[in-house]
């Protein structure tokens, strides 16, 4: 069991975690980071272009133990166009 901190990065914005979470190990911390990114992506506004979200996981000794990155690419289609296939 250890305490892990999740620093979140979206484009030029960084939010540093000062509270952290107690988790069994760094593998669980990596899964948690991936889950957090999918939750943020679900709330992100739809835009034409892209968005890059990342989470850096630190342990109690302030060492980076995991980094997850999620790239979202959005592109609006023309109304009335046929789908691929």
Which residue did the predictor score with more confidence, 81 or 56? Answer: 56
Q: What tokens does 21 get?
A: 């979470």
Q: How far apart (Å, rounded) are the C-alpha atoms in residues 59 and 7?
A: 11
pLDDT of residue 84: 67
15-60 pLDDT per residue, tens: 999 999 999 999 999 999 999 999 998 887 766 677 889 999 999 9
Single pTM value for the model: 0.81
The SS3 of residue 13 is strand
């Amino acid at each position: 069991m250890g305490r892990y901190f999740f620093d979140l990065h979206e484009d030029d914005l960084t939010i540093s975690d000062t509270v952290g979470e107690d988790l069994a190990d760094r593998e669980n911390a990596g899964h948690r980071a991936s889950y957090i990114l999918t939750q943020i992506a679900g709330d992100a506004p739809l835009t034409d272009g892209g968005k890059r979200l990342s989470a850096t996981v630190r342990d109690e000794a302030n060492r980076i133990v995991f980094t997850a990155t999620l790239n979202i690419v959005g592109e609006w289609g023309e109304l009335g166009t046929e789908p691929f296939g």
